[in-house]
Amino acid sequence: MLIKALENISSCPFHMPGHKRRRDLFDIDFTEIPETDDLHDPKGILKDCMDFAANVYKTKKTYFLINGSTCGILAAVSACVQREDKILIARNCHKSVYNAIYLNGLDPVYICPPILECGLNGSIDPTECESLIKKHRPKALVMVSPTYEGIVSDIGTISEICHKNDCILIVDEAHGAHFCFHRGFPVSAADCGADIVIQSLHKTLPSLTQTALLHICSDRTDTENIQKYLSIFQSSSPSYVLMGSIDGCIRYMTSEKGRIAVENYYNTLIRFRKKAAPYILSENIKDGGSCFDVDISKIIIHGGRDTADILRKNGIEPEMTELFYTIALSSVGDTDESFHRLLSALHNIKQPKTPPEPPMLSSAEPKIILTPYKASLLKTESVPLKSSIGRISAATAYIYPPGIPIINPGELITPEITEIIESYLSKGFSVTGITNSTIKTAVI
């Protein structure tokens, strides 16, 4: 709808952008003129498109995001809390959540997911959520579901706990924009009582990079405040190419052609998982407790960098490599041929008789000495990792992807933290925040 409307505008452009919509360039790359509406004050075509998206996802209001889920998370947190408020954060959240904590000078309280036997982060425990909410009275809870690896938490129960305790529930569902389009995938947080849900269309649906959605799912959220912060964190010159991609993606997914494509994709995925069973993590890790549900579109392949190298040599580029597993993300954009190529590549991986024991990363709560913002005000010095134990970190250290911090500014550097970082470095991983095996620490 949006792309067709842009293509039908024939006026002579004496406005930005400079390529003037020449046919050999992008003839749908517009700026805000009367026919194209304004993302920051939508009243026309963009409002209609966002209303359509809200109807598809069954939300009270949906906003287009052209700076990715990152800007949606920054806006959601900023709109729901005030400076120095307490906020409950799932420790396996994306770095954008930690940036929101820093920018707003918030006082974080962390809830750590359990570590499953397979080595993945499990689901957030609703009982622990309730205990921490009652103890600390945070203004909001921010959590990720599904995780990068497809682990889903019990959002329905957690939302009930939040609402009973006057706590806003913000769910980073960046990897779950496809959930509502097939019954075989988990139920979306938007249908489970969450107040705000952020989704990245480009991660799992046929849409351009940077395209995402922010959903308002309850009356407990100040939509005017959300709009204000979206106008701060989104570009003042939003791309109509990206917005056209968002609208086109959603309309395709709801069309007969899209519904057939999803059904074919899901059936192909099921067949592939059965054939690839010896090489991938089974969805049977669900046990109703430590793992509430699993998104089977995430294909977790046994083995780290060596496995990823074998896949690349056989023409497969995986999404991400960890110490002991490799992620292949599937989507409706995959074909029978692409699944066949992945399966053929997996056959080149030598499978051990017994799977290797994965390293058990810590699920202990970090030791917070200062808030990230207060830590940022101190002088810093770089010290070798081995000499940093007992000092306060001034750095955020993480592997990207997925961008989950190992340590944040203001937290105590422990032997366990340095051991985890050194494990990654020894395997050839690049750890953002670590330079030549040194880390920035606060000088007190």
* Helices of type H across 68-154: 68-80, 95-103, 126-136
Structural tokens at position 19: 């390529």
Q: Nearest CA to 227 among 36, 39, 369? A: 39
Could you please report the per-residue DSSP string of 321-350? E-SSEEEEE--TT--HHHHHHHHHHHTTSP
What is the pLDDT averaged over residues 203-212?
93
**Cα separation of 219 and 331, whole Å?**
32
Distance of CA 91 to the CA centre of its chain: 13
What's the pTM value of the predicted model, to 2 decimals? 0.91
- Residue 120 or 64, more confident: 64
pLDDT score at 355: 54
- Residue 2 or 374, more confident: 374
Do residues 145 and 93 lie in contact, with contact meaning Cβ atoms separated by under 8 Å?
Answer: no
pLDDT score at 411: 94
**Cα separation of 19 and 14, whole Å?**
11
Please state the φ and ψ torsions of residue 330, each to the nearest 5 degrees: -105, 160
263-309 pLDDT per residue, tens: 999 999 999 999 999 999 988 876 556 899 999 999 999 998 899 99
25-71 pLDDT per residue, tens: 567 788 888 899 999 999 999 999 999 999 999 999 999 999 999 99
Burial level of 199, CB count in 10 A (0-12/13-18/19+)? buried
Do residues 176 and 199 lie in contact, with contact meaning Cβ atoms separated by under 8 Å?
Answer: yes
Phi/psi region, residue 107 (left: phi>0; alpha: psi -120 to 50; beta: rest), is: beta
Q: Nearest CA to 374 among 410, 413, 411, 405? A: 410
Q: Say what the alpha-carbon torsion angle 165, 220, 175, 334 is, to the nearest 10 degrees.
A: 140
pLDDT band for 353, please (50, 70, 90 cuts).
Answer: very low
239-272 pLDDT per residue, tens: 999 999 999 999 999 999 999 999 999 999 999 9
**Cα separation of 93 and 341, whole Å?**
32
DSSP element (H, E) containing 216 = strand 212-216
pLDDT above 60 (res 141): yes
Strand 196-200 with 212-216, pairing: antiparallel
Exposure of 266 in the CB half-sphere (CA atoms within 13 A): 16
210-232 pLDDT per residue, tens: 999 999 999 999 999 999 999 99
Question: What is the amino acid identity at position 285?
Answer: I
pLDDT above 90 (res 22): no
